[in-house]
Structures are given as C-alpha cells and as structure tokens.
Structure 1
Amino acid sequence: MFPKPVAELKPNTFAYETTPLVKATGFREYDARWLFEKELNLMGVQALGLGLGTLLHEMGAPLELATGHDYRSYSASIKLALVTGLMAAGVKVQDIGLALSPMAYFAQFELDCAAVAMVTASHNDNGWTGVKMGAQRPVTFGPVEMTRLKEIVLSGKYREASGGSYHYVENFGQRYLDDLAKNVKLTRKLKVVAACGNGTAGAFAPQLLGRVGCEVVPLDVELDYTFPRYNPNPEDMHMLHAMADKVRESGADVGLGFDGDGDRCGVVDNKGEEIFADKIGVMLARDLSRVHPDARFVVDVKSTGLFATDPELIGRGVKTDYWKTGHSYIKRRVNELGALAGFEKSGHFFFNKPIGRGYDDGLLTALHVLEMLDRNPTKSMSDLYAALPKTWGSPTMAPHCADEIKYTVVDRVTERFKKMQADGVSFLGGPIRDLVTVNGVRVTVGDGTWGLVRASSNKPELVVVVESPASEARMREMFHAVDKVLRENPEVGAYNQTI
C-alpha cells in the first residue's frame, strides 16, 4: 500500500525520500500547482498519479491517458513519477514527450485517449510545477473534480490495479503541427515576430508560422529553462515591451508572443502597440461573426465591456456571455453553449467547431489572428485596432495574498461593495451602477468605468483589472479607489505590476 501524504517534510532527510509530500493548497480550482521540493516531492507526484487513476476509476472513464511535459529542468522527472502512479492504478499511458499543453489536448483526439495529464507550471516562475488534467475531451477538470482528487490523494485511499502500461509516441509534435497547418492558406505575405520567452513554444511556434508562409522574426526562441530575460507570459509587460521593440526594429506586420506551455498568445501591432488580449478578442469576434453569422462568444469577467457595447457586434446580433475567469470555466461554458469561441483577457482563446476543437491553443490563436489580417488585405493590425471604440484598460495586476486567505479577502471586498451599493455610498463621484459577483466582484459606475477584484486560481495572489470608456484619468481613479478598499485588508501585499 502506497504511503499517505503529509503536508510538511524537511528536505535532505530519510523521511523526505520515503514519504509523499503534498501540500493541500496545491489543488486549485481547475488544475494543480505546487512549489516543487518545498510543497511537493517526487513521491508526492506518484501519489497524485495514483489519485488521478483512482478518480478515473470512480468516474467510469476509460483508463487511457495522454501525457506530456513542458521545458523546465525538473518537468520530465515529475512526469515520469506521475506516470508511475498512473500505471499503478491500471492506467495505460501514452507519453508525447516534450510538449505544449494544447499538444496534450490534441493527443486526446489524435490518440483516442479520454484523459489527459499535462505536466506544466504554465507561466508561473521557475520553482513551480503543476498538472492540467481532464477526463472528457475537450474540457479539463473544474472545482468538483479537483476537490474529489484532493480528497483521494490526501486521504491515501487509492485504487491500485493491474493492466497499466506505458508507450512513448515518437515525433508527436510534427503530427500536431501538421494538423494546425493543413487548412491554412494565407494569400498575404506577413512578417511576424515570434516571441517565446525561451519557453517550450520556441520549439514549435516559429516552425508553424514559417510553414503557413510567414517571414518569421524569432525572439527568445531558444529553449532555456532559466528564462534569462523574462518569464514567458504574454500578460507580463516585460515580455510585451520586448515584443514591441522587436516589431519596431524589424518592421514586422505583427508580434505574436506565447506563454510557457503554449496555450496563450499575446499580440503587438505593426506600430509596436501592445494590444491586451481582450481587445484582440473583440477584433476576432468582429471578423469571425462576418464569416459565421449568428456567432455566440464567451468571455471572462476580466474582459473589456466592448463585447457588450461595440456597435458592430450589436448590429450583427452577436451574443456574448460573461463568465468566470479560468481556462477550465471558459472551456466548459463554450462547449455548454455551443459558442463559436471563448476569449480570456489572459490570452487563453478557445475556438470551437468548425474552427477548432474547443480547447485553448496559443498557436491556433496565432493562426486566427493571421487569417483575420489575410481577410483584411488593405488594413494593418493597427488599423483594425484603431477601428474599435476607444477604452482605457489596465494590464492584469496581481497583489500578493496567501493561498490560505485570498478567497476570504475577496469575500470581504465583495461584501464591502455590496454594502456600499445598498447604502447608496458615493464611489468615484456617484452611486455604484452595477455589481457582477459571478467570479470575485466587478464594480461599475455610471459612465461605464469598472474595476474587478478576484482571487487568482493558480498563484498566491489577487487579480485586479480596471477599464474606462471615458478617459485614462477615470481608469486610474478606479484603480486607486479599488486599491483603497483592498488595503482595508492587511493580508494584501505588493503588486507584481501596476499602472
């Protein structure tokens, strides 16, 4: 019988090498993330694999699973420990090797595997690891499945079974790239900066862009798990600024940036202007709704209000559903509603039938951006951006807040805004017009200026976003007003970046 995990262990001890270490906070809303060695050891990863296999038994899912790992110094060893646990639970594992998360999702279809377990810390800093899991393509686990997995693993009540096996799939990356490139026929010659932040996408994205006819300007495409320049995160202003500089230097038509596991894409236009992903979503919604009448979209609560107010989308009868932030939430909502696509401000985009399989893929997002430019041969990326109604929005800002308290803090902030609205308290010079509490709290005032506070689903942080259709000054006023309410909670720490 495999040992029951513990929450704390001292490294470099006998106990550390003979006991699974699994900190409970690593089980998050829709995936798992831990600081490797401090919160999770290799025996803990084996316990996770056993727990996942046990959950597949409980769910009645076929015991066949696709797995892969990102380019971090420890990811391959973590994946093999996970595989050991899965096999002990009787799971037949198909290993696609070094991969992007969307490659693992594609493997569920290509290799006919019901389940997936992708070892990646995504855009988290070095030292972090994690697993993105699912058992019903194309959706991944949500809170119900993650809660049950946590119960199984921490209780040590596993179902060990015979029949487990391991198979390594050679050259799977080429099958993935072949599938992406097969239906893309660009008629416009485009010069594209491919920014990969030295993450896993560097092995695949430049090759794909070249295959579809682009002139590729590589930026930080060499794989280097120390991430020497910046973390591969297209929401991070360091990466966006580097992309913008390269676009201006090279005279590129567009800059495309990919995160550490390739499921997100960030965009810089031909003038070197950084376009936040929610605005790219509006541009794609405009373009795709011309090609696919009666299109429906899903966006997260961090996203611009333009999805609801843009005259072009309104004139075309486009319906947009605002939903909970998180790749698992949006992916499920897109599939439940049969939406054409889903867009997150973080850059997770989900293209559904007939233009995708419903999961998030940064390389597929890049292709859709290029096809949008191809369908508008007389317009530049900056022209398409300038055609949107003007709003002033912030990047995603994240003040530190411990995992153990962050949801409580958001509950307090939500109740504070509810009371302010109920009491008619003036906020930014007038009453609060609207509160959306589907995921944290999004507070809107009379001129449409809004601010959002929610708990990060994958890091010990809160998330703050603000936007105004009135002026940059109003956007900044909203940030300071929201931050003032946040500072009533001493548990809230410094921001990773601010406006």
Structure 2
Amino acid sequence: MFPIPQASLEPNTYAYETVPLVKPTGFREYDARWLFGSEINLMGVQALGLGLGTLIHERGVRPEIVVGHDFRAYSASIKQALANGLMAAGVTVHDIGLALSPMAYFAQFALDIPCVAMVTASHNDNGWTGVKMGVERPMTFGPGEMSRLKEIVLTGAGKARDGGAYRYVEDFPEVYIKDLTDRERLKHPVKAVVACGNGTAGAFAPRILEALGVEVVPLDTGLDHSFPRYNPNPEDLEMLHAMRDAVLASGADVGLGFDGDGDRCGVVDDLGEEIFADKVGVMLARDLSALHANATFVVDVKSTGLFATDPVLQANGVKTDYWKTGHSYMKRRVNETGALVGFEKSGHYFFNRPIGRGYDDGLVSAIAILDMLDRNPGRKLSALKDALPKTWASPTMSPHCADEKKYGVVDAVVTHFEQLAAGGGTIDGQAIRDIVTVNGVRVTVEDGSWGLVRASSNKPELVVVVESPVSETRMRDMFRVVDGVLRTHPEVGAYNQSL
C-alpha cells in the first residue's frame, strides 16, 4: 500500500524522503499548483499520479495518457515521478518530452490518446509546479474531477494495478509544428516581435511563425529556466514594456508575447500599445464573423460588453454567450455549444473547428491575429483597434475576502441585484437591462455600462470589473454602485488595486 500523503513535512529528514507531501490547497478548481519542495515532494507527485490513474480507471476511460513538461529545472523530474505513479496504477504513459500545454492537448488527437497530464506552472514564478489534466479531449478537469482526485490522493485511495507501461514518443514537436504550418503562407509581408520570456515557447514559436512567412524579431526566445528578465506572462507590465520597446525599435507590425506554457498570446500593436485580450477578441470576432455567418462566440463574464453591442458583430448576426471565467469552464462551453471561438479576458482563446480543436493554444491565437492582418492589407493593427467603439474599462480589481466567506458574499450580491431588477429599481437613474448570473453577477444598465462581482477561483478574494461605453465618469459611477453594495458586507476588505 502506498503511504497516505501528509499536508506538511520537515525538509531534509527521513520522513521527507519516505512519505508523500501533498498540501491540500494545491488542488484548484481546474488544475493543480504547488510550491515544489515546501508544498509537494517527488513522492507526493507519485501519489498524485497514482490517484490520477485510479480516477481514470474509475471513469472507465481507456488507461492511456499523454504526458509532457515545461522548461523549468525540476519539471522533467516531476513528470517522471508522475509517470511512475500513473504506471503503478496500470496506465500506459506516452511521454512527448519538453512541450507546450497545447502540444500535449494536440497529442491526444494526433496519437489517439484519451487522457493528458501536462506538468507546468504556466507563468507562475520559479519554484512553482503544477499539472493540467483531462480524460475527455479536448476538455480539462473542472471542479468535480478535481474534488474527486483530491479525495483519492489525500485519503490514500489510489490503487496499484498491473498493466502499466511507458513509451517515449520521439520527435513529437515536429508533428505539432507540421500541423500548424502545413497551410498557405501569409500573402503580405509582416514583421512581428516574438517574445517568449525565456520560457518553453521560445523553442517553437519563432520557427512556426517564420515558416508562415513572418519576419520574426526574436525577444527573449532562448530557453533559460531562471527567467532572467521577467516571468513569461504577457499580462505583466515588465514583459509588455519589453515588447513595446522591441516593436518601436524594430518598426514591427505587431508584438506577440507567449506565456510559460504557450496557451496564451498577448498583443502589442504597431504603436507599441497593449491591446487587452478581450478587445483583441472583438477584433478577431469581427474578422471571423465576416467569414462564418451567424457565428456564436463564448465570452467570459469579465470581458468587454462590445461582444454584445458592437454594430459590426450585430450586422454579421453574431450570437454572444457570456459564461464562467476559467479555462476549463470556457473550453467545455465552447465544445458543448459548438461555438466558433471562446474568448477569455486572461488571453485564453479556444478556437473550434475549422480553425482549431477546441482547446487553448497561444500559437493558434497568434496565427489567427496574423491572418486577420493578412486579410486587411494596408491597415495597421492600431487602425483595426481604433475602429472599435470606444469603451472605458477598469482593470481587474480584487478586494480581500476569506475563502470561507467569499461565496456567501457573492450570493448576497446576486440576490441584491436580482431583487432590484425584479422590483423595477434603477442604478443611478438607469433601468437595469440585463443580469447574467452564471458566475457571480454581471449587471448591465440601459446605457450599456456594467459591473461584475464574482468570487476568485483560487485566492481569498472577490473579483470586480466595470466598464462603460459612454464615458470614464459612467465607468466610475458603476464602480461606486458596485463597491457600495460590497461595503455593506464587513467581510470584504481592501482592494489590491482600485480606480
């Protein structure tokens, strides 16, 4: 019998080397993240693999799995420990080696393997590790699967079985690269800064984009797991500023920045200005809905209201489905509804057929942006951005709220706005036009201004976003109203940032 994992162990002791360490908080809503060494050890990773293999058998899924790892000093060791646990559970492991997360998802299709476990901490600081998992391609785990996996692992319910095996898949990146590049080259010249933050994407992104005819200006594309300049996260200002400087210095048409495991792509325009991911999504939706009439787009509730109000999208017969924030929720919704694309404000884009396979891939997103430019010769990316209706949006703001309190607070806020709407109430004299409650509450008034309150998926925080298509003043008005409701709950603390 495998030892039952412990929540804490003293490093550099006999117990640390002989007992699995698995801190329970590492099991999140739709993936797993731990600080390696202090929150999980290699035996703990092996226990995770044994638990995942047990869950695979419990679900009646064919016991074969793709595994890969990102470029961190310890990721290969963690992957091997995970594979040992999976094999002990009677699962055949297909190891694709160093990979991007979307490369592992692609391998499920290319190798006809039902399950996936990608060892990655994405854009987290060094010291972090984690696993993105799924047993039903192209979906990854949601709260139900993660809760059951947590139960199996922490109670020591993982079961050893015969039949486990290991297969190393040679040169699999070539299969992935061919899949993305076996198409027509871009018709018009384009120069792109390709920023990778010394993360895993540096091994693949420049080569793929050059094969499509892009003049690549490489930025931090050499692999270095110490991340010497900044973490590979295209939402962080350090990376965005480096991209801006490189675009302006080189005269590039666009800056494309990839996160640590390559499932997101951040964008800087030809003037060196960042375009938030939801606004890039509107630009892509305009472009694609002209080619795919009456398309449906799934959009997370944090994203701009332009998906529902933009006159070009309305003229193209677009249907917008606002849904829960989180890559697992979004991925599942896109596949359940048959939407053309799902857009998440964090930069996860889920392109469905005929463009993609329903999972998030930063390179597929980058190629879609380049195709959009190619279909608009003579128009700069900044011009396409400026053609969007103007809106004023807040950053994502997160007031502190304890994990055991945050969902109750959100429920109360939802009830407040639902009762206000049902009673014909107004917000600053504006009638309530729409309420979306799939993930907290997003309330929109008649002039299109809206505010969102939801619980953070993995921190003791709430999430607040406001936007107005009218003015900055109306955006601030919406924040004042939303914050006023939150201040009736003493459990809600200070914001990490505010207007």
TM-score interval w.r.t. the shorter chain?
A: over 0.9
**How far has the Cα of 1:339 moved from its partner?**
1.2
- Determine the structure 2 residue equivalent to 1:98: 98
**TM-score, normalization by structure 2:** 0.93
Distance 2:478 2:376 in 1: 36
Q: Percent identity?
A: 71
Q: How does 1:257-296 map to 2 (within 5 A)?
A: 257-296=257-296
- More moved, 227-236 vs 385-394: 227-236
**How far has the Cα of 1:150 moved from its partner?**
1.4
- Determine the structure 2 residue equivalent to 1:307: 307
Instruction: For structure 1, list consecutive stretches of 5 or more residues without a partner in the other structure.
Output: none
- Matched-pair contact (CA < 8 Å) for 1:399–1:492: yes
Letter in 2 for 1:475: M
Residue 194 in structure 1 maps to residue 194 in structure 2: yes
- More moved, 150-159 vs 10-19: 10-19
- Matched-pair contact (CA < 8 Å) for 2:108–2:114: yes
- Matched-pair contact (CA < 8 Å) for 2:436–2:442: yes
- Matched-pair contact (CA < 8 Å) for 2:449–2:470: yes
- More moved, 71-80 vs 306-315: 71-80
- Determine the structure 1 residue equivalent to 2:126: 126
**How far has the Cα of 1:475 moved from its partner?**
2.3
Instruction: For structure 2, list consecutive stretches of 5 or more residues without a partner in the other structure.
Output: none
**How far has the Cα of 1:223 moved from its partner?**
2.2
- Determine the structure 2 residue equivalent to 1:204: 204
- Matched-pair contact (CA < 8 Å) for 2:486–2:492: no
- Determine the structure 1 residue equivalent to 2:185: 185
Deviation string, structure 1 residues 63-89 (Cα, Å, up to 9, x no partner): 110011112222222111111110000
Residue 241 in structure 1 maps to residue 227 in structure 2: no
- Determine the structure 1 residue equivalent to 2:319: 319
- More moved, 388-397 vs 288-297: 388-397
Distance 1:226 1:429 in 2: 54
**How far has the Cα of 1:19 moved from its partner?**
1.8
Letter in 2 for 1:230: Y
- The aligned length equals 498
- Determine the structure 1 residue equivalent to 2:250: 250
- Determine the structure 2 residue equivalent to 1:390: 390
**How far has the Cα of 1:93 moved from its partner?**
0.6
Residue 359 in structure 1 maps to residue 364 in structure 2: no
Residue 345 in structure 1 maps to residue 356 in structure 2: no
- More moved, 423-432 vs 127-136: 423-432
Deviation string, structure 1 residues 315-364 (Cα, Å, up to 9, x no partner): 12111111111111111111111111111111111111111111110001
Deviation string, structure 1 residues 161-213 (Cα, Å, up to 9, x no partner): 11111122222222211111112420111010111122211111112111111
- Determine the structure 1 residue equivalent to 2:146: 146
Distance 1:414 1:15 in 2: 48
1:314 is paired with a residue of what secondary structure? helix
Distance 1:152 1:122 in 2: 25
**How far has the Cα of 1:302 moved from its partner?**
0.8
- Matched-pair contact (CA < 8 Å) for 1:235–1:396: no
- More moved, 61-70 vs 234-243: 234-243
**1:208–1:308 distance in 2 versus 1, CA, 3 Å:** same
**How far has the Cα of 1:53 moved from its partner?**
0.3
**1:47–1:217 distance in 2 versus 1, CA, 3 Å:** same
Distance 2:374 2:473 in 1: 36
Distance 1:323 1:297 in 2: 10
1:131 is paired with a residue of what secondary structure? strand
Deviation string, structure 1 residues 432-461 (Cα, Å, up to 9, x no partner): 554322112223334222222323334554
Residue 376 in structure 1 maps to residue 381 in structure 2: no
Distance 2:403 2:128 in 1: 14
**How far has the Cα of 1:312 moved from its partner?**
1.1
Distance 1:428 1:246 in 2: 45
**TM-score, normalization by structure 1:** 0.93
- Matched-pair contact (CA < 8 Å) for 2:185–2:211: no
**How far has the Cα of 1:264 moved from its partner?**
0.6
2:68 is paired with a residue of what secondary structure? strand
Residue 158 in structure 1 maps to residue 155 in structure 2: no
**1:368–1:407 distance in 2 versus 1, CA, 3 Å:** same
Distance 2:364 2:273 in 1: 22
Deviation string, structure 1 residues 197-243 (Cα, Å, up to 9, x no partner): 22211111112111111111122222232333332222223322322
2:290 is paired with a residue of what secondary structure? helix
**How far has the Cα of 1:393 moved from its partner?**
1.9
**How far has the Cα of 1:157 moved from its partner?**
1.1
- Determine the structure 2 residue equivalent to 1:445: 445
**1:415–1:232 distance in 2 versus 1, CA, 3 Å:** farther
**How far has the Cα of 1:370 moved from its partner?**
0.2
- More moved, 34-43 vs 95-104: 34-43
- Determine the structure 2 residue equivalent to 1:79: 79
